[in-house]
Structure 1
Amino acid sequence: MDAVAGQLSQVSADLQQAVGAYTAPVCYAASVFGEFGMDQAWSGFDTDWAAELTVTQRAVAELSSNVTATTANYRAAEATVAGSLATVGAAAGAAAGTGTGAAR
């Protein structure tokens, strides 16, 4: 899971770099696209694309953070369960006369 979190973190960093490189929408004159309102359509798309880059970067950063936190939570739970099982196993062994605490 650490590798997955690391890769997600790298994707987030790459997206952040893309957001920085995509500084501002480019406005074109209507003559560049021809007729039929293509310049307004491009402007709308360009503005929305810039916003989506930021939204995507934030979502991936949050996912990376969540994977890291979940991994830590699972490890803590696993350690707790392993400790409990070791204690139960030692107690069972002592009760059966095979543990380190049993009299011989």
Structure 2
Amino acid sequence: MTPISSDDAYRALDSAVSASQADDVDKMKTELLRVRFDEQARGEKRKSAGTAIESGVTGSLKPWREVVMLHEDVASGRYHQAEFAADLWQVHLGEGTPEYRNPVEFFRRTYLPPA
């Protein structure tokens, strides 16, 4: 069964009405128009949300490489890809480097204070 467009559905409802069914068909047409409006509004909202995100960046922002100080092992390239992120299973087992096992050290290294 091929789906029909909301325009086709509205035309079918509008043209195939007997006097005894007029009230029911009017309710269906109104509901169809409401659904169609809601879909259009959601589409417009998605479009405008994407535009707001894209246009929110200004040319005055510095690149992150100029703002963030990389950890010494990352900056020098002396890190293993697998160690770049915390292995939460190792943390759960109490294994791994102290910076991940010790909550105070982890917070000290990952918390960015307000500018």
Common topology (TM > 0.5): no
- TM-score of the aligned structures, taking structure 1 as reference length: 0.42
Larger relative contact order (Cα-Cα within 8 Å, sequence gap ≥ 6): 1
More helix by share: 1
- TM-score of the aligned structures, taking structure 2 as reference length: 0.38
